[in-house]
Amino acid sequence: MSKIFTTPLAKNNPITVQVLGICSCLAVTAQLKPAFVMALSVTVVVALANLIISCLRNTIPPRIRIIVQLVVVSALVILVNQVLMAFVYDVSKQLSVYVGLIITNCIVMGRLEAFAMSRKPMESLLDGIGNGLGYGVILVILGFVRELFGSGTLWGYPVMEKLGLYNIGYENNGLVIMAPMALILVGVIIWIQRTKDKDLQED
Amino acid sequence: MKNFSNKYIFLYSALLVAIVAVILSVVAMGLKERQDNNIRNEKMQVLLQAINVNVTRDEAAVNYQQYFDQELTVATDGSILSVWNVKESKMEKGDVRAFEIKLKEQQNIEKSGAQGAFPVYVFTKDGRKGYVIPTQGNGLWGAIFSNIALDEDLNTVIGVTFSHESETPGLGAEITTEKFQAPFIGKQILDENGQVISIAVKKNADANGMHEVDAITGGTMTSNGVNEMLATDLMRYQKFIDATRAAAAPQENTAVEEAANEEEVNHE
């Protein structure tokens, strides 16, 4: 049981191993806060979608299973968006279009197809949370690095300024806030992970 | 794999969609009032921000009534179509409250050749009258908005706010930061002849120039959008600005112009 939860965090990480959800991971990680809220939203959506689909799995006709999954995911995403708009309006504004784009996140559909359609509800819930967090960990790492070196802040707090680095000639790196840098950073993370974990190395 | 009849598939999908539709509409209706309230309060909060009054969203409604006097609806020909008295919450003229106007609709009306109606908010702060002009344009991914607060001369910028629908965080979305907005303060939207020339957003702007500010690194498309938005939307108020300035200082006109000219010389 615990393996279901932990493998997606490292050994079968959705971003670095399955290479899913790269799009949104490039788009929302220029700053830490949106990256964090996005990670949280995706976790909620994957976990609940996994749970619901797993409960329904024996009643879903295989021929329309993708449509059923899509309806469930869209409904959840709209709910998340509505709740964010009503209760944490500021955060919902910051995430703007990306919340809606969770629907197209490959991780969600991928987990439903590969796991929830054939496993029990509790396992599916765990798998969803694990994958959401596995995705989230990478997002937060990227957000941390990119905001720190790109804008010199963390969660909006001016770290570099407080350290007085600007006074000795330090400058923010504009390249880090561009999307290509996120891809390079993901590459670096994959590199580090594969160096440490021999199982992941391919011939 | 189990076999499902066509009838089952049809019923199943119809039922599923119906259930989802019911859930979503119940939630949407239940949360609507909260969301609308958030949006109205936020609009007031942003207008207050433009005049450098920073309050939380919950305090916005009270403060709005305290600082703002009137909401005007202005036609492009300079005529005032409606006046809403904020302090007493009543219409003094016309029947459309400027607060409820959707800029996009009016811009489309204008585009189709008819005359649109655009809002102006009149406020008093520290005993000085001023005007807030809202604008809306297009950034890279979606709409961008701003509020320009002008001093009583309808020329000098005393505060701005920018917001956006979906610009890229860290790049175009930086228009909402203090770093981008602060340089606008003190700039002028009119040239020495009283013509609207707006404030240009460009690379390597001259910090002493009265009509330009620095663009955002990595946010060129959004910066261009801001530039375009300000130029187009401020232009619409030319006649209103002329009329208000003329009415405010009929005798001092020459004196003001002389002072402005003198300032120009000093800058050079």
CA distance A28 to chain B (A): 7
A99's tokens: 């919340």
**Per DSSP, what are the bridge partners of residue B132?**
B121, B149
pLDDT of residue B261: 53
Tell me how far apart the alpha carbons of residues A141 and A126 are, in angstroms, rounded to a whole number.
Answer: 22
> In one letter, which amino acid is A67?
I
pLDDT of residue B250: 59
CA distance A202 to chain B (A): 35
Q: Which residue on chain B is closest to A74 by alpha carbon?
A: B20
Judge whether B208 and B177 are in contact, CB under 8 Å. Answer: no
pLDDT of residue B249: 66
Q: Say whether residue A196 is in contact with chain B using an 8 A CB cutoff.
A: no
Residues of chain A under the 50 pLDDT cut: none
> In one letter, which amino acid is A50?
N
> Interface pTM (ipTM) of the complex?
0.76
Q: Say whether residue A78 is in contact with chain B using an 8 A CB cutoff.
A: yes
Q: How many helices (H) and strands (E) does chain A have?
A: 10, 0
Asked if the model's pLDDT at residue B256 lies above 60, the reply is: no
Do B169 and A174 count as a contact with CB atoms less than 8 A apart?
Answer: no
**Per DSSP, what are the bridge partners of residue B75?**
B117
Mean pLDDT of chain B: 87
Q: Say whether residue A171 is in contact with chain B using an 8 A CB cutoff.
A: no
CA angle A145, A147, A151 (to 5 degrees): 130
Residue B268's pLDDT band, with cuts at 50, 70 and 90, is: very low
pLDDT of residue A97: 72
**DSSP secondary-structure letter at B54?**
-
Asked if the model's pLDDT at residue B251 lies above 70, the reply is: no
Tell me the count of A-B CB pairs closer than 8 A.
77
Backbone angle region of B52, left / alpha / beta, with phi > 0 → left and psi within -120 to 50 → alpha: left
> Which of B6, B8, B12 is the best residue to mutate to test the A interface, defined by the most A CB atoms within 10 Å of its own CB?
B12
Tell me how far apart the alpha carbons of residues B141 and B101 are, in angstroms, rounded to a whole number.
Answer: 23
Do B42 and A89 count as a contact with CB atoms less than 8 A apart?
Answer: yes
CA distance B255 to chain A (A): 45
Tell me how far apart the alpha carbons of residues A110 and B88 are, in angstroms, rounded to a whole number.
Answer: 58
Do A89 and B38 count as a contact with CB atoms less than 8 A apart?
Answer: yes
B219 to A23, A56, B142, B174: CA distances (angstroms): 19, 46, 13, 8
In 3-state terms, what secondary structure has residue B96? coil
B77 to A102, B98, B115: CA distances (angstroms): 46, 17, 8
A74's tokens: 């869209």
CA distance A106 to chain B (A): 21
B132-190 pLDDT, tens digit each: 999 999 999 899 999 999 999 999 999 999 988 878 767 888 898 888 999 999 999 99
Sheet holding B117-125, edge to edge: B90-93, B80-85, B68-75, B117-125, B128-138, B143-150, B157-164
Do A85 and B23 count as a contact with CB atoms less than 8 A apart?
Answer: no
Tell me how far apart the alpha carbons of residues B73 and B236 are, in angstroms, rounded to a whole number.
Answer: 12
Asked if the model's pLDDT at residue B31 lies above 90, the reply is: yes
Tell me how far apart the alpha carbons of residues B178 and B165 are, in angstroms, rounded to a whole number.
Answer: 18
Asked if the model's pLDDT at residue B127 lies above 50, the reply is: yes
Pick A92 or B37 by higher pLDDT: B37
Tell me how far apart the alpha carbons of residues A29 and A36 are, in angstroms, rounded to a whole number.
Answer: 9
pLDDT of residue B159: 93
Judge whether B51 and B152 are in contact, CB under 8 Å. Answer: no
Do B169 and A28 count as a contact with CB atoms less than 8 A apart?
Answer: yes
Alpha-carbon torsion, ordered B93, B37, B47, B99, to 10 deg = -20
pLDDT of residue A162: 86
Do B8 and A61 count as a contact with CB atoms less than 8 A apart?
Answer: yes
Domain boundaries, chain A: 2-200
B60-107 pLDDT, tens digit each: 989 999 999 999 999 988 889 999 999 888 888 888 888 988 889 999
> In one letter, which amino acid is A85?
M
Do B23 and A61 count as a contact with CB atoms less than 8 A apart?
Answer: no
pLDDT of residue A151: 84
Q: Which residue do the tokens 């000085």 mark?
A: B128
CA angle A90, A93, A94 (to 5 degrees): 90
Start-to-end C-alpha separation, chain B: 84
B43's tokens: 């609009």
Residue B115 contacts by C-beta under 8 Å, 6 or more apart in sequence?
Answer: B75, B76, B77, B109
Residues in chain B whose beta carbon is closer than 8 A to a beta carbon of chain A? 1-2, 4, 8-9, 12-13, 16-17, 20, 23-24, 27-28, 31, 34-35, 38, 42, 57, 141-142, 163, 165-166, 168-171, 217-218
* Residues of chain B neighbouring A97 (CB-CB closer than 8 A): 141-142, 165-166
